[in-house]
């Protein structure tokens, strides 16, 4: 039995991810991780080759691609498995899509690399446009600022020729926001439905959860993640980006039973 809400399973092929670090760095380990989480109910494997944790060290496009491409190619040879490429570089996205990836997840919502929207449009793939900004100061209401920025991302995508029904929006929990901002976005998540596009919530194992629970280890924050994820679903999220797929699936089945009967 599968929930209505789609699950993007996080697969970080990076040595410095804040959550799983080098746990899944080896190709065989990454493949095993992908097989396991697909069996648990993941709808997409969100594969990233560059950490976006606080204070991360940027990597070049060739290095980033070399981390993810072997995994994507094997996954496509096996069963043409549903892969999302988590990148902010159009060059990387294009080559991942050529290798068989079927979705783009851009933490800058097509506002950093001017070619990203063109790549998405040329392949006509679902694209996650996330809100982000440098710094965490807002001159206007937080949710209004997020919506204004996401409108820019939407306009960029549509102008490039991406079909409207391929756009997914993410308010960017943990990006360009303070501890208090993150909680405000969660509390008011339903306001984002006015944008008229499917919404993704990605709060998995993030630091603001540890500040509440006192759990310093990211991989021990799955219970807190589940609480925020299920809250988000009741407020309109139709996609969840998470580490713990089984826990999320089980929680979704119960929550959706309560919501829809």
Task: Look at phi and psi of residue 109 and say left if phi exceeds 0, alpha if psi is from -120 to 50, else beta.
Answer: left
Identify the active-site residue in 95, 102, 205, 241. Answer: 241
User: Which tens digit of pLDDT belongs to each residue from 158-197?
Assistant: 999 999 999 999 999 999 999 999 999 999 999 999 999 9
Q: How far apart are CA 37 and CA 248, in angstroms?
A: 11
Q: Is 206 a catalytic residue?
A: yes
Q: Is 241 a catalytic residue?
A: yes
Catalogue the E-assigned strands of 13-60: 44-48
End-to-end CA, the chain: 14
The share of the chain scoring above pLDDT 70, in percent, equals 95
User: Which tens digit of pLDDT belongs to each residue from 78-120?
Assistant: 777 899 999 999 999 999 999 999 999 999 999 999 999 999 9
Task: Supply the pLDDT for residue 18.
Answer: 45
- Report the candidate in 130, 121, 104 with the shortest Cα–Cα distance to residue 158: 121
Task: Supply the pLDDT for residue 21.
Answer: 45
Q: Which domains does the chain have, with CATH numbers?
A: 6-260 (3.20.20.20)
The pTM of the full predicted model, rounded to 2 decimals, is 0.94
Q: How far apart are CA 144 and CA 133, in angstroms?
A: 14
Task: Supply the pLDDT for residue 52.
Answer: 79
Identify the active-site residue in 206, 217, 220, 257. Answer: 206
- Report the candidate in 109, 72, 120, 122 with the shortest Cα–Cα distance to residue 200: 109
pLDDT mean over 18-26: 52
């Amino acid at each position: 039995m599968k929930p209505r809400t789609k699950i993007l399973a996080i697969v970080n092929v990076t040595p410095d991810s804040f959550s799983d670090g080098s746990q899944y760095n080896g190709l065989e380990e990454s493949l095993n991780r992908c097989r396991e989480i697909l069996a648990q109910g993941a709808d997409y494997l969100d594969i990233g080759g560059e950490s976006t944790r606080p204070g991360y060290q940027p990597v070049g496009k060739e290095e980033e691609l070399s981390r993810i491409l072997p995994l994507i190619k094997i996954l496509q040879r096996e069963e043409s498995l549903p892969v999302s490429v988590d990148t902010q570089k159009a060059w990387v996205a294009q080559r991942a899509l050529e290798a068989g990836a079927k979705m783009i997840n851009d933490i800058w919502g097509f506002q950093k690399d001017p070619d990203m929207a063109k790549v998405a449009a040329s392949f006509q793939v679902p694209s996650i446009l996330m809100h982000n900004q440098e710094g965490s100061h807002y001159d206007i209401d937080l949710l209004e600022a997020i919506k204004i920025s996401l409108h820019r991302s939407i306009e960029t995508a549509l102008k490039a020729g991406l079909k409207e029904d391929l756009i997914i929006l993410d308010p960017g929990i943990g990006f360009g926001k303070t501890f208090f901002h993150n909680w405000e976005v969660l509390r008011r998540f339903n306001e984002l439905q006015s944008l008229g596009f499917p919404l993704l919530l990605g709060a998995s194992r993030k630091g603001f959860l540890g500040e509440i629970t006192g759990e310093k280890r990211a991989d021990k924050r799955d219970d807190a993640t589940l609480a925020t994820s299920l809250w988000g679903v009741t407020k309109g999220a139709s996609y969840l980006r998470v580490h713990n797929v089984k826990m999320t699936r089980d929680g979704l089945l119960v929550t959706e039973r309560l919501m829809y009967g």
